[in-house]
Amino acid sequence: MSDANPSSPAQSAPEQKPESALQQKSRLAVGFLILMFASGLLLVYLVDVTQPMTAGGQEDTHVGIAAPSSAASTVAAEVSVEPSARVPDAESDPQLFQETQAMREQLTETQQKLQTVEDDLKAWKEQQAKALESERQSIVDELAAITQAHQRELAEASAPDRTPDESLAQLKRDYATLNAQFTDDGVLVSLTESDLNFPMGGAALPSERLASLEKVVWFLGRHQNVIVLLQGHTDSLGNAVRNLGLSEQRAIAVKDALVGLGVAQNRIRAEGMGETKPIASNDTAQGRSRNRRVDLYLTER
Q: What is the pLDDT of residues 76-94, one digit of tens each?
A: 444 444 444 455 566 777 8
Secondary structure element (H or E) that encloses residue 50, with its range: helix 21-50
Question: Could you tell me if 125 and 26 lie in one domain?
Answer: no
Task: Estimate to the nearest angstrom the gap between the alpha carbon of 143 and the chain centroid.
Answer: 15
Contacts of 144 (CB under 8 A, 6+ apart): none
Range of the domain at 35: 20-53+65-86
User: Does a structural domain hold residue 26?
Assistant: yes
User: Does a structural domain hold residue 248?
Assistant: yes
pLDDT at 248: 96
User: Does a structural domain hold residue 13?
Assistant: no
Question: Could you tell me if 118 and 237 lie in one domain?
Answer: no
User: Does a structural domain hold residue 126?
Assistant: yes
Question: Could you tell me if 70 and 106 lie in one domain?
Answer: no
Domain boundary among the residues 155, 180, 208 is at: 155
* Range 221-246 average pLDDT: 94
Strands 293-300 and 186-191 turn out to be: antiparallel
Question: Could you tell me if 145 and 220 lie in one domain?
Answer: no
pLDDT at 55: 41
Question: Could you tell me if 169 and 251 lie in one domain?
Answer: yes
Q: What angle do CA 173, 176, 178 make, to 5 degrees?
A: 125
What's the predicted TM-score (pTM) here? 0.47
User: Does a structural domain hold residue 15?
Assistant: no
Question: Could you tell me if 37 and 149 lie in one domain?
Answer: no
Q: Note the pLDDT tens digit of each residue in 243-294.
A: 999 999 999 999 999 999 999 999 999 999 999 999 999 999 999 999 999 9
* Cα 230 from Cα 214, distance rounded (Å): 16
Question: Could you tell me if 141 and 243 lie in one domain?
Answer: no
User: Does a structural domain hold residue 79?
Assistant: yes
Contacts of 137 (CB under 8 A, 6+ apart): none
* Cα 202 from Cα 246, distance rounded (Å): 7
Question: Could you tell me if 142 and 189 lie in one domain?
Answer: no
Specify the length of the chain in residues.
301
Secondary structure element (H or E) that encloses residue 250, with its range: helix 240-260
More confident residue, 295 or 51: 295
